Structure 1
Amino acid sequence: MQGSCLCGAVAYEATPPSSGLQIGLCSCRSCRKAHAAPANAYASVPRKNFRWLRGQDKTSIYESSPGKNRHFCSVCGSQIIAEHPGETNVLLRVALLDDDPGTRPVEHIFLGQRPAWCDWDADGITRYEEWGPEGEPVAKDT
């Protein structure tokens, strides 16, 4: 699997663990703030299976909680990975994968910290497949 940041300055390659890629969602306050989103999609991969393809020198590290480092692209701000130095795994930010990982989330943690306004499955929410160049919704072809 390969992933990259918004501007493309930073890219990585990772091989899922032998047990397969287990995607989770996290709605803790720290993840919500770091991603400016109601949840972060993450997956753990062995550190030995992760390598930078380009741009590691363009990353910045922020210790968001004691012992947890978040690696960001210093150009566009995308969070690339999180890690606890010395642990055997790193946490990929699944939304940065360039292709479909072929699996879906298996857990959602810190639901108690999810914002009250976040209810993707609520009735009455209009859904669109795309957003047009002039700021107009694009209906799904039926």
Structure 2
Amino acid sequence: MTSKLLGGCFCGAVRYEAAGLASAIGYCHCGTCRKTHSAPFIATALTPFEEFSWTKGRDFVTYIETSPGKHRYFCPACGTHMMAEYPAAKRRLLRVGSIESPLPRPAAVHIWTSEKAPYFDFCDDLPKLSEGLPPAD
């Protein structure tokens, strides 16, 4: 695991602190990530569930349940997505683009490639998983 990470939204209304990364950084190609971020894929990584906190805007940040038991948190002012969680499974996934601290490592895997955008072509040699989360550390 890595050291403490700080992050937040584009407008600064919401900030968070996380203990570090608990998995590889993965590029997620699932249809829901593509739709909610308006992008062909997003970078994501697990963080320890109990060691994440909103340091600013806790009562302001909001979420949408995009699939049963999965909450995606974003700033209602600027729209920045910062984190997704599965509360019942005690899993939190940071949106790597919202992290402002130096990252401990580069991305290591593509996930949910079974739902890859048809207009996107891979241009690296990273492993490609048809489903799943980034591998845990």
TM-score range, shorter chain: 0.7 to 0.9
Larger Rg: 1
Q: TM-score, normalised by structure 2?
A: 0.80
Letter aligned with residue 12 of structure 1: Y
Alignment of 1:110 onto 2:112: yes
8 Å CA contact 2:24, 2:108 repeated in 1: yes
Runs of at least 4 residues off by over 6 Å? none
TM-superposition CA deviations, 1:54-93 (whole Å, max 9, x none): 0111111100001101111111111111011132331100
5+ residue gaps in structure 2? 125-137
| Same amino acid, percent of matched pairs | 38
Alignment of 1:4 onto 2:8: yes
User: RMSD between aligned alpha carbons?
Assistant: 1.7
Partner of 2:101: 99
SS of 1:57 mapped into structure 2:
coil
Q: TM-score, normalised by structure 1?
A: 0.77
State the alpha-carbon separation in 2 of the partners of residues 120 and 6 from structure 1: 28
5+ residue gaps in structure 1? 123-142
- The structure 2 residue matched to 1:78, chosen from 77, 80, 85, is 80
Number of residue-to-residue matches in the alignment = 120
Q: CA deviation at 1:98?
A: 0.6
